[in-house]
Structure 1
């Protein structure tokens, strides 16, 4: 800021605004950097170069205030940011480290500046060590290629690990190699932990920690099984009567049972097997490399034995059993995971139909049977509307007069695909799927209408199922059916099986009393097959007792059968019940029944079931 005339002849220190000894600067290398002051007193960053000349020195002064200010600002920014920054020189040595890098890597700048950039061990996302030549800083320094967002793991001096998202870029753009490099990185350890937890939660059951349905299906895919040798066994495990525990002890107790079951399943299986929870009380085990069905059965039995051990919940000892369905997949089996689970589920369903705590294997015939059952259940919903249900009537003969006393209405189903289906198959489906009340009401209306129109002089017998007895609208349905048909309720006899009556005797007694008050007659069907006694039956307002066909079949062949029938007839007559024998197929059976004093009989010998028009 001085004019030449002001500077000439003045001491150099006065001119540059700071003490300056050219000889000392020259001796120290010829260049000095210091803070000087201009003529107006403003502080300046000045670089002074000194060269000797005859009789003195030549001083070249360069104002670096702006550059120094920019450098200071940059240094302050780098020190303040949360991102770690390292500067690696062209020689591969660390030149600077910002505070964030110290914190993230667990190092001190004092200890690493001037050291090789390979100061910490790095590994990739699979856990494999990264060779020194492949370090991001080394790749950029030697090739000039930038690295962006590489995920690496670093080991801190204290042994802990940190995950980094790291980038590297050459500091100069002149292409000269090796190049100084700036390496920046952020700590993503917590984010990876969160991502890992989210991934775990998305693939595992929250309650038990086992694999969920998605993972199970993936592990059963043909591609996953291709890496395994031998046969893959899929065990579908369903806890028996778990709902009782949930309903009686609460969901917290049920959850504890499920946790214990999950732990025991994990401990009961072989290393490498996959254990999963599909939902509710359904679990699965995937066992690879199974030798044969016997080995799969042995595994299932071992699992059941472990589950059978008592489980203590809130001071109570609970016992759990399971039904197990097994499907075997040979190498090359084209079924995907969902198909294998479906087939194992079908096998489990088959096991449950055999009773509690059973094991069943899947086969193609089982699939066809189950698919038929499911199809029938769906089609049965529309069968009444589609006029697919019809009634056949079997005569019941008075053994004293040999005349037809009544007819029993027997439901039939003409399925559009499977043809004629007998009640033994579809009535069970109706009861299990809550369709029985719809089907039963349809049967009542049809039977009363047809008999009233065709043979109004005949007594009509109609069967009631166990589930119909539970229906609070049963009495109203009977009243409406007889009224609409114009048939007297006294012309209607309702048959109930012995087992249905004994399931809830109190409820059965109330329902039967209401039906009797309506005017309908009542019969107990299949007597002798249940666990009731005649004393129990005396409490019910019955009119007729029907002897099960299994006893009738033994007449003429077994003295024991004849003795049983004799006792039944005698006891029934003692309480004024009419006795009807079912399943009469031979003349000998008929004559024995007549000699024993049986009142009525029905069976193929006396008449097969026929449509109402053929009566």
Structure 2
């Protein structure tokens, strides 16, 4: 616990002590309150007063055990007590009621940035807002850190819980006023309805926590009401996470390679490395599922380093003029050690940095633009080329081209797939190509699936293309076989024709 909250706890104890002293004084008969210290200790009121004092002391201890001193709300012990009280009241006729959990999104970075005193003030304001907007009979609890709970005796089903969740979400989205700044927050919510989500307290709380966990996984400001389907979904997610951890440790995540082609010559100029995972129990798992999971759970670095090593080792067996394109995650663009890690891996493998091209997305850069810029510059200084991936789908695309130094832009497939029948997409791609020519950037069109798309893109001046029309991703062995069929000896430097 930080010093500010410790002080708050001591302050809370002091408040409780002062209150109990006032209560004791008020409870005494007037004659007893007026008695001097020298009054006869054998006065008949003595034993009664001792019992009264003991009762008040017991109430003080109960308050210390059941009240959060920072917010003056009940704590987790009070939540357990309240849920059991309601359950006992309804034991003969178990009418439903709801408990909910709320977790403040992104509170820790805010607490680190502005300090614990500001963080504690926000938590206090959150408590007051929750108390003020709760329906009749509801109880608000601080579970600890940035998590709150509430008991809703008159909310009986999913729709009611969701309605409360949306109301609380809106209340907490309003700005918080601190001494010299305004802070905005969002919160994620999980609800569980008794007895459907559990009859015992621990089961009910676990269900609410499962619902909250699902909300947090889906992003900020989400609301989830527990159901058996959600429980199964979360169990699958837990199994997937554990399987992915094991696969990374066992080096079971593979790398496949998709050709990138010159549209002018139909020659292969490089390959993009793509992660592939086929689990013995889960089957094929899409990288759109397991890569974000690795990022979320904190083992993207281990995964990425393994994949880069494998990809670089495979590229050593290709003709030396072919480049290797590899994707960096948003988490890696926030880690200052990324550039040194990447360079250390290719140095150990023996891959020329000039053959490596790293793809980053606009969305990833926006999480910490200054840090991303520093990492990008360090890599470019070492000879690594940088490509802006999925161009046109993020935010401030033109601003990113101005502020960052890129070597290449990859046009997102959402534009390419419409180019044959949609004039607007054609004009957008033409504008991108013209702009990139002026900036001295190469252009790759992603997701080319047929000859008509390739022909139009070539006519628009797009330099390179990638997609199933030119080849599906294949593992390292199949890629090397593909190259040898066209090269014969992969040490020669003849180009590869599709």
Q: Is it true that 1:425 corresponds to 2:289 in the alignment?
A: yes
Q: What is the correspondence of 1:37-186 to structure 2 with a 5 Å cutoff?
A: 100=42, 102-104=44-46, 162=48
Equivalent-residue separation in structure 1 for 2:187 and 2:134 (angstroms):
16
Equivalent-residue separation in structure 2 for 1:265 and 1:288 (angstroms):
16
TM-score normalized by the length of structure 2: 0.78
Structure 1 position 229, deviation (Å)? 4.5
Q: Is it true that 1:294 corresponds to 2:236 in the alignment?
A: no
- Mark the CA change 1:236 to 1:500 in structure 2 (over 3 Å): closer, same or farther: same
Structure 1 residue aligned with 2:211: 347
Give the SS at the match of 1:395: strand
Q: What is the correspondence of 1:382-461 to structure 2 with a 5 Å cutoff?
A: 382-453=246-317, 458-461=322-325
Q: What is the correspondence of 1:237-386 to structure 2 with a 5 Å cutoff?
A: 237-243=102-108, 246-304=111-169, 306-307=171-172, 313-314=178-179, 321-330=186-195, 334-352=198-216, 356-386=220-250
Equivalent-residue separation in structure 1 for 2:436 and 2:57 (angstroms):
76
Structure 1 residue aligned with 2:13: none
Greater alpha carbon shift after TM alignment, 217-226 vs 505-514: 217-226
Partner of residue 232 from structure 1, selected from 85, 97, 118: 97
Structure 2 residue aligned with 1:182: none
Q: Is the 8 A contact 1:325 1:344 kept in 2?
A: yes
Q: Is the 8 A contact 1:393 1:611 kept in 2?
A: yes
Structure 2 residue aligned with 1:590: 454
Q: Is the 8 A contact 2:362 2:389 kept in 1?
A: yes
Equivalent-residue separation in structure 2 for 1:271 and 1:466 (angstroms):
44
Structure 1 position 535, deviation (Å)? 5.8
Give the SS at the match of 2:56: helix
| Per-residue deviation, residues 458-484 of structure 1 (Å, max 9, x unmatched) | 321111112212333323323332232
Equivalent-residue separation in structure 2 for 1:581 and 1:315 (angstroms):
48
Structure 2 residue aligned with 1:20: none
Give the SS at the match of 2:42: helix
Equivalent-residue separation in structure 2 for 1:429 and 1:459 (angstroms):
28
Partner of residue 424 from structure 2, selected from 553, 556, 560: 560
Structure 1 residue aligned with 2:466: 602
Equivalent-residue separation in structure 2 for 1:313 and 1:405 (angstroms):
56
- Mark the CA change 1:281 to 1:444 in structure 2 (over 3 Å): closer, same or farther: same
Partner of residue 191 from structure 1, selected from 18, 40, 54: 54
Q: Is the 8 A contact 1:440 1:468 kept in 2?
A: no
Q: Is the 8 A contact 2:198 2:204 kept in 1?
A: no
Give the SS at the match of 1:102: coil
Structure 1 position 280, deviation (Å)? 1.4
Structure 1 residue aligned with 2:75: 212
Structure 2: which 5+ runs fail to align? 1-39, 480-498
Equivalent-residue separation in structure 2 for 1:516 and 1:318 (angstroms):
37
Structure 1 position 198, deviation (Å)? 1.6
**How many residues of Structure 1 are paired with residues of Structure 2 in the alignment?**
438
Structure 2 residue aligned with 1:465: 329
Q: Is the 8 A contact 1:502 1:532 kept in 2?
A: no
Bigger proportion of residues as helix:
2
- Mark the CA change 1:439 to 1:507 in structure 2 (over 3 Å): closer, same or farther: same
Q: Is the 8 A contact 1:578 1:599 kept in 2?
A: yes
User: Which is higher, the Rg of structure 1 or of structure 2?
Assistant: 1
Structure 1 residue aligned with 2:64: 201
Equivalent-residue separation in structure 1 for 2:128 and 2:335 (angstroms):
43
| Per-residue deviation, residues 496-550 of structure 1 (Å, max 9, x unmatched) | 1123334444433332232222222221111111223446424533221110111
Equivalent-residue separation in structure 2 for 1:540 and 1:269 (angstroms):
48
Greater alpha carbon shift after TM alignment, 532-541 vs 284-293: 532-541
Equivalent-residue separation in structure 2 for 1:535 and 1:210 (angstroms):
47
Structure 1 residue aligned with 2:20: none
Q: Is it true that 1:518 corresponds to 2:371 in the alignment?
A: no
Greater alpha carbon shift after TM alignment, 508-517 vs 439-448: 508-517
- Mark the CA change 1:460 to 1:305 in structure 2 (over 3 Å): closer, same or farther: closer
Give the SS at the match of 1:472: coil
Give the SS at the match of 1:487: coil
| Per-residue deviation, residues 164-184 of structure 1 (Å, max 9, x unmatched) | xxxxxxxxxxxxxxxxxxxxx
Q: Is the 8 A contact 2:255 2:276 kept in 1?
A: yes
Give the SS at the match of 2:248: coil
TM-score normalized by the length of structure 1: 0.65
Greater alpha carbon shift after TM alignment, 297-306 vs 555-564: 297-306
Equivalent-residue separation in structure 2 for 1:310 and 1:479 (angstroms):
44
- Mark the CA change 1:306 to 1:613 in structure 2 (over 3 Å): closer, same or farther: closer
Q: Is it true that 1:569 corresponds to 2:409 in the alignment?
A: no
Structure 1 position 216, deviation (Å)? 1.9
Structure 1 position 565, deviation (Å)? 0.6
Q: Is the 8 A contact 1:213 1:278 kept in 2?
A: yes
Structure 1 residue aligned with 2:362: 498
- Mark the CA change 1:280 to 1:473 in structure 2 (over 3 Å): closer, same or farther: closer
Give the SS at the match of 1:383: helix
Equivalent-residue separation in structure 2 for 1:538 and 1:316 (angstroms):
31
- Mark the CA change 1:455 to 1:322 in structure 2 (over 3 Å): closer, same or farther: same
Equivalent-residue separation in structure 2 for 1:516 and 1:369 (angstroms):
43
Structure 1 residue aligned with 2:35: none
| Per-residue deviation, residues 98-147 of structure 1 (Å, max 9, x unmatched) | 96252326xxxxxxxxxxxxxxxxxxxxxxxxxxxxxxxxxxxxxxxxxx
Greater RCO, 1 or 2 (C-alpha within 8 Å, sep 6+): 2
- Mark the CA change 1:505 to 1:375 in structure 2 (over 3 Å): closer, same or farther: same
Give the SS at the match of 2:249: coil
